């Protein structure tokens, strides 16, 4: 009997994905455990394994299709010798599920209820639904030109040409600076769209508070050199970032009021310290997690961080390796950045921006000396962390970094 292969939920929060690539073709024999396709989620491209054996009778969703809801049939598996069901008799892929509703305090109140909010069904293609959502067009304001009044891509595009809302004013300079002959259009990946949405939500809905401190690195750099010199045959190499992960974790244990998350009902205080580290990947950013970083040695952190970063860039992380975390760090020191402020990674309440260490003049008593100084900037959710607490935490971090032997005891 023919079996539907469904779009899997590759993480607890996944509602839809993009079918990036088929690794099996129609007519190929499939065994349980075979990798049959690659699915692009908001964080990574992940492999999909077959759970049954048979023959890939028909592919329902082509490569490159985005916005496929979880549990939508993407292909049909048949037994050897079994006829492949006719496409017209097969169940059409389900319409996209509605997006997960945000908390009440984060949801904009509409001027009037849409047809879908009233329980009325609107027939719309997945592509048209996504386009309408991205462009802020209400589906019940569109007239479908497809079968049974189904709203299609062209209907959304027509709706854009004559919007009912106030049109967005584009600066004249922008119009003059661009033309179809000089613009290269690159479609946004699923990851890029999610990054844009989440960071916009963070900056508009989370009250950011910033506090910076200058930290001298000479003692830490000296300790790093000594530790790496003890490595036999380059068995490990500790980086400044590895040491900062451990220092941040210890500072969070010393000032635990920053290791929190804010909700509308309560503030969550975490006993465990799980550090999310920002890693640049080809089309965005992902934050693999060093869990229980305060209990791990520098060598353990170094090995784990390098492995996570390598697999992050290859799109091979498991969901549990990048989902969660209690605090984030973003290190741009390798790019020579003097100072920057990072955007909070919700639902976390804090992120540390680590800039480059550079030689600066410092005053010690009545003397001027030269030291390697780094500017670190803490961004916190002001709903959960007050300015004085943020400053206390940064001072604790500075004490740890400037007296780094605590990192190895």
Element (H, E) at 57: strand 54-59
pLDDT at 147: 65
User: In this model, does residue 163 exceed pLDDT 60?
Assistant: no
**Cross-strand partners of 283:** none
End-to-end Cα, the chain, rounded Å: 63
Q: How many CB atoms lie within 10 A of CB 294?
A: 19
pLDDT band at 180 (very low <50, low <70, confident <90, very high): low
185 or 340, greater pLDDT: 340
Structure token pair of residue 192: 């890029």
- Length in residues, the chain: 409
* pLDDT tens by residue, 126-155: 677 777 777 778 777 788 877 667 787 788
**pLDDT number for residue 109:** 32
Task: Give the CA angle between residues 223, 369, 222 to the nearest 5°.
Answer: 5
- What average pLDDT does range 189-200 have in this prediction? 86
Q: What is the pLDDT of residues 316-333, one digit of tens each?
A: 888 889 989 999 999 999
Query: How far is it, in rounded angstroms, from Cα 181 to Cα 194?
Result: 29
CA angle at residue 350 from 345 to 353, to 5 degrees?
85
Q: Which residues pair with 364 in a beta bridge?
A: 367
**Percent of the chain's residues with pLDDT above 90:** 49
Angle between helices 126-135 and 153-161 in degrees, nearest 10: 20
Residues 248-287: pLDDT tens digits? 999 999 999 999 999 999 999 999 999 999 999 887 889 9
The CA-based diameter of the chain, rounded to the nearest angstrom, is 90
What's the CA gap between 335 and 339, in Å, rounded?
A: 11
**Pick the residue with more confidence: 28 or 176?**
28
Q: Of 45, 117, 33, 99, which is closest to residue 316 (Cα–Cα)?
A: 45
Token pair 């670190």 is found at: 376
* Number of other CB atoms surrounding residue 220 within 10 Å: 24
What are the helix (H) ranges across 59-186? 126-135, 153-161, 172-177
Q: Tell me if residue 269 is catalytic.
A: no
Residues 40-48 have a mean pLDDT of: 77
Q: Are 138 and 163 in contact (CB under 8 A)?
A: no
Tell me the whole-structure pTM to 2 decimals.
0.64
- Whether 160 has a pLDDT exceeding 60, the answer reads no
pLDDT of 102 reads: 35
The per-residue pLDDT for range 92-112, each reduced to its tens digit, is: 444 444 334 333 333 333 334
Question: How many helices (H) and strands (E) would you count in the chain?
Answer: 9, 19
Residue 120 pLDDT level (bands cut at 50, 70, 90): low
Question: What angle in degrees, to the nearest 10, is found between the helix axes of 218-229 and 387-402?
Answer: 50
Cis, peptide link before residue 347, omega less than 30° from 0: yes
The catalytically annotated residue of 208, 269, 295, 382 is: 382
| SS percent in the chain: helix, strand, coil, step 5 | 35, 25, 45
């Amino acid at each position: 009997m023919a079996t539907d292969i469904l779009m899997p939920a590759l993480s607890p929060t996944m509602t839809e994905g993009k079918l990036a690539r088929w690794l099996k073709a129609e007519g190929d024999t499939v065994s349980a455990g075979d990798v049959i396709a690659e699915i692009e989620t908001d964080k990574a491209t992940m492999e999909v394994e077959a759970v049954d054996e048979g023959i890939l009778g028909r592919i329902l969703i082509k490569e490159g299709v985005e916005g496929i809801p979880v549990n939508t049939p993407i292909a049909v598996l048949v037994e050897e010798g079994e006829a492949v069901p006719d496409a017209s008799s097969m169940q059409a892929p389900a319409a996209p599920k509605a997006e997960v509703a945000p908390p009440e305090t984060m949801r904009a109140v509409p001027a009037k209820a849409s047809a879908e909010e009233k329980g009325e069904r609107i027939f719309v293609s997945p592509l048209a639904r996504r386009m309408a959502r991205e462009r802020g067009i209400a589906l019940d304001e569109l007239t479908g030109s497809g079968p049974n009044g189904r709203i299609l891509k062209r209907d959304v595009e027509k709706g854009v040409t004559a919007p009912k809302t106030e049109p967005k004013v584009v600066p004249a300079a922008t119009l003059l600076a661009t033309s179809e002959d000089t613009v290269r259009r690159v479609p946004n990946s699923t990851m890029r769209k999610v990054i844009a949405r989440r960071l916009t939500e963070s900056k508009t809905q989370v009250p950011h508070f910033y506090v910076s401190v200058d930290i001298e690195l000479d003692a830490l750099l000296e300790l790093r050199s000594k530790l790496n010199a003890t490595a036999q045959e380059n068995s490990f190499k500790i980086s400044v970032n590895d040491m900062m992960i451990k220092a941040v974790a210890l500072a969070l244990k010393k000032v635990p009021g920053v290791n929190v998350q804010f909700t509308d009902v309560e503030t969550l205080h975490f006993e465990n310290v799980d550090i999310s580290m920002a890693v640049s990947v080809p089309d965005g950013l992902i934050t693999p997690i060093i869990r229980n970083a305060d209990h791990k040695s520098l060598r353990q952190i170094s090995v784990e961080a390098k492995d996570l970063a390598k697999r992050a860039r290859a799109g091979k992380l498991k969901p549990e390796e990048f989902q969660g975390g209690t605090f984030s760090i973003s290190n741009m020191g390798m790019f020579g950045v003097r100072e920057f402020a990072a955007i909070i990674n919700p639902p976390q309440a804090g992120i540390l921006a680590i800039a480059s260490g550079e030689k600066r003049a410092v005053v010690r008593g009545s003397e001027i000396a030269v030291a390697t100084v780094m500017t670190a900037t803490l961004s916190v959710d002001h709903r959960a962390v007050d300015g004085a607490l943020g400053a206390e935490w940064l001072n604790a971090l500075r004490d740890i970094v400037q007296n780094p032997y605590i990192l190895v005891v």
